[in-house]
């Protein structure tokens, strides 16, 4: 207790603010919520301060040597109200709450280092060169700010909420940091030689790695910097303009594609569009307005994809839209219904089961793709009339494995590989109206190239329907009938 009081009195004597004193005394989370109560409980003050008002007056004359005025409580107290009244914040309707992103200048690390040297010398029983002497300045600031924001905004802190960006800067930072080149010249020589190093003088990670009491020479540091650091009278941190970033949310559903002239995503070749529209854009146009974003803020994912000339029928293909910077994290039932109806008006795409999902739910759509089964119906044509023998040969109940070399039609965008794929069943039917046509139902492993399964791609896929019936056969039309993925949850609207 006596040592704690001695440390506190010393820090106050060198113009360390009360919050920073508590940081160097390793205060707990609850203590930073009420500084006055924390110091009173520790017996460090007599309780004659009201939110540190008497001390704030002194801080205005002598800026804290550690935080450069960051923890002036009167200034911090206005932050939450500024956020609540900010028009940019008011446009977000997010029930999840908020989170904070605080940007602090590196000069605070430099001042912590100077105090670290000083405290290790003066109080070796308490402070060590190997262990940081304080609660990190950003952590302490968040403890204070988050508590106030929760109270004023009446919303919880949540990683799924609106991000409140709070930037701070220090006018004299470059001037204070520049002598570090003399303290540890090797660090900066290596940074200049490394082409991947950013143009900034030194990064936060580089400072934390190379500038600690055990990494640099104490005497050399003291030749260039005051230990303890001195007050920067009249010059402190300046808080920049608040900004806000909406949460990233995930909207899932299933889509049907009824057109044989529509790509799943925008089809670009050499920077030019190959066709107008896509499944992604058709869906996005009806969903974007509710979340207050543009189509460019979508990341579209699905359980596989069909070719431009292939329809997707049945229950549809599961998809997810990752929506970055959303203005709301809510999807009322009536809005979901309207979205489904608006997409349906396109006559080319329909969606169902539209709902919000969690990031961790994406494991369903992004993993185990090759373990899924896909169900297809193919309209095939033969060079000679279909016989009963052909039909029987294409009625296969037992699974078989074929080898597919990357098809010629996709070789420009796929690695040349031989891939084993399982076909679980084949069931063919002759067409009464056309003696040269077959309808074939196929259940196969996801990732199977069905067109090549039919015609063999000049022998690059085998066995194929062509090799099985020993006759020329090609595919005229293909539909995806079902996808073996029971996700997302089915909602019958």
Q: Among all residues, which ones are annotated catalytic?
A: 307
Closest of 235, 76, 56 to residue 146, by C-alpha: 76
Sequence-separated (6 or more) residues with CB below 8 Å from residue 415 = 406
| Residue 231, burial from CB neighbour count under 10 angstroms (0-12, 13-18, 19+) | buried
Query: What is the Rg, in whole angstroms, of the alpha carbon atoms belonging to the chain?
Result: 33
State how far the Cα of 449 lies from the Cα of 443, in Å rounded to an integer. Answer: 12
Residues 6+ apart with CB under 8 A from 341: none
Phi, psi of 413 (to 5 degrees): -130, 5
State how far the alpha carbon of 269 is from the alpha carbons of 29, 272, 412, 413, in Å: 55, 5, 12, 11
Using CA atoms, how far apart are residues 234 and 206, in angstroms rounded to an integer? 29
Q: Rounded CA gap, 229 and 111, in Å? A: 6
Give the contacts of 57 (CB within 8 A, at least 6 positions apart): none
Strand partners for 396:
426
CB atoms within 10 A of CB 454: 24
Which helix (H) or strand (E) segment holds residue 251: the answer is strand 249-257
Q: Which long-range contacts (CB under 8 A, 24 or more apart) does 290-294 make?
A: 290/328, 290/331, 290/335, 290/339, 291/249, 291/323, 291/326, 291/327, 291/328, 292/91, 292/246, 292/326, 292/327, 292/328, 293/246, 293/323, 293/324, 293/325, 293/326, 293/327
- Work out the number of other CB atoms within 10 angstroms of the CB of residue 445: 21
Nearest to 19, CA basis, from 132, 127, 145: 145
Phi and psi torsions of 212, nearest 5°? -135, 165
Task: Name the 3-class secondary structure at 99.
Answer: strand
Pick from 418, 430, 315: nearest CA to 374: 315
Q: How far apart are the first and last CA of the chain?
A: 67
């Amino acid at each position: 207790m006596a040592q704690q009081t001695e440390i506190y009195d010393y820090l106050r004597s060198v113009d360390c603010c009360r919050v920073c004193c508590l940081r160097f005394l390793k205060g707990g989370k609850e203590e930073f919520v009420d500084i006055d109560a924390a110091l009173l409980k520790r017996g460090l003050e007599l309780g004659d301060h009201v939110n540190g008002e008497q001390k704030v007056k002194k801080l205005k004359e002598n800026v804290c040597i550690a935080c450069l005025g960051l923890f002036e409580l009167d200034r911090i107290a206005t932050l939450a109200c500024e956020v609540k009244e900010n028009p940019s914040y008011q446009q977000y309707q997010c029930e999840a709450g908020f989170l904070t992103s605080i940007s602090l200048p590196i000069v605070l690390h430099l001042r912590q280092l100077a105090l670290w040297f000083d405290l290790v010398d003066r109080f070796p029983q308490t402070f060590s060169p190997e262990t940081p002497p304080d609660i990190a300045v950003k952590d302490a600031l968040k403890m204070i700010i988050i508590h106030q924001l929760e109270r004023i905004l009446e919303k919880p802190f949540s990683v799924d909420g609106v991000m409140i960006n709070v930037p701070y800067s220090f006018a004299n930072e470059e001037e204070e940091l520049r002598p570090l080149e003399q303290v540890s010249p090797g660090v900066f020589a290596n940074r200049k030689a490394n082409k991947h190093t950013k143009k900034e003088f030194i990064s936060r990670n580089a400072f934390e790695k190379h500038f600690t009491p055990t990494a640099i020479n104490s005497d050399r540091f003291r030749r260039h910097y005051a230990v303890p650091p001195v007050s920067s009278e009249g010059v402190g941190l300046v808080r920049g303009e608040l900004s806000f970033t909406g949460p990233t949310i995930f909207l899932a559903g299933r889509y049907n594609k009824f057109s044989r002239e529509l790509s799943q995503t925008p089809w670009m070749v050499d920077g030019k569009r190959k066709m107008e529209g896509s499944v992604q854009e058709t869906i996005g146009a009806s969903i974007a307005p509710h979340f207050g974003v543009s189509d460019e803020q979508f990341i579209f994912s699905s359980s596989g994809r069909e070719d431009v000339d292939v329809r997707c029928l049945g229950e549809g293909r599961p998809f997810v839209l990752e929506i970055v910077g959303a203005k709301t994290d809510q999807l009322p039932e009536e809005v979901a219904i309207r979205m489904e109806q608006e997409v349906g008006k396109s006559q080319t795409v329909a969606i169902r089961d539209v709902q919000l999902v969690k990031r961790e739910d994406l494991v369903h759509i992004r993993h185990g793709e090759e373990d899924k089964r896909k169900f297809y119906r193919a309209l095939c044509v033969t060079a000679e009339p279909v016989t009963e023998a052909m039909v029987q040969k294409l009625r296969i109940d037992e699974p078989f494995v074929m080898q597919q070399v990357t098809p010629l039609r996709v070789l420009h965008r796929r690695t040349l590989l031989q891939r084993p794929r399982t076909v679980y069943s084949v069931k063919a039917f002759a067409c009464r109206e056309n003696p040269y046509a077959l309808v074939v139902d196929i259940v196969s492993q996801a990732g199977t190239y069905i067109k090549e399964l039919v015609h063999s791609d000049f022998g690059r896929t085998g066995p194929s329907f062509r090799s099985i019936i020993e006759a020329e056969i090609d595919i005229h039309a293909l539909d995806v009938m079902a996808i073996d993925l029971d996700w997302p949850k089915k909602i019958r609207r």
